Amino acid sequence: MENEELNTEQKVVREVSLPLFSSKGWIKFLGILMIIYGVFVAMTLVGIIIAWLPIWLGVLLNQTANRIEQAQVSGDITAMVRSQNSLSTYFTVYGVLALIGIIGIIIAIVVVITTGVLFQLPELLQENYY
């Protein structure tokens, strides 16, 4: 009876992990690209400070691919949950970085507009006096 339940659990894990397993090659490819990108970023002076982020994201993607493969092959529910945790962490970190980027762009736009107005202000004031 226990063996039959275990076998059913393995079948469910294999079925649920199939969509991620079919994308395993792309997940690994993107993970390797992120690691290579991180190495290139580390070659710059400022990049050495932030290079760990893309490398870490690449490692998370590779862990996801390896764990989803393990879940698919063995039907191991623990490997399935770990792969989803790695993927969840990846998307959380990438989402935070995207928000930081959007906020940075908004701040840059405000600074550019403000600076442009401040540089034009003396000319605008002179035109009103004459």
Query: Can you give the residue ranges of every domain in the chain?
Result: 2-99
More confident residue, 1 or 18: 18
- The mean pLDDT of the chain is 89
d(CA 91, CA 23): 16
Handedness of CA 9, 15, 20, 23 (dihedral sign): positive
The packing angle between helices 2-22 and 24-42, to 10°, is 60
CA 41 distance to own-chain centroid: 16
| pLDDT reported for residue 36 | 96
Structure tokens at 63: 């862990």
List the single range of 78-87, 101-110, 117-126 with lowest mean pLDDT. 117-126
Give yes or no for a contact between 70 and 107, defined as CB atoms under 8 angstroms apart.
Answer: no
Task: Say whether pLDDT at 114 is over 90.
Answer: no
| pLDDT reported for residue 102 | 98
d(CA 69, CA 79): 9
Give 8-53 pLDDT, tens digit per residue.
888 888 998 889 999 999 999 999 999 999 999 999 888 888 999 9
Share of the chain above pLDDT 90, in %: 63
List the single range of 66-70, 72-76, 121-125 with lowest mean pLDDT. 121-125
| pLDDT reported for residue 83 | 94
Q: Could you tell me which residues come within 8 angstroms of residue 19 by beta carbon, excluding any fewer than 6 positions away?
A: none
| pLDDT reported for residue 42 | 93
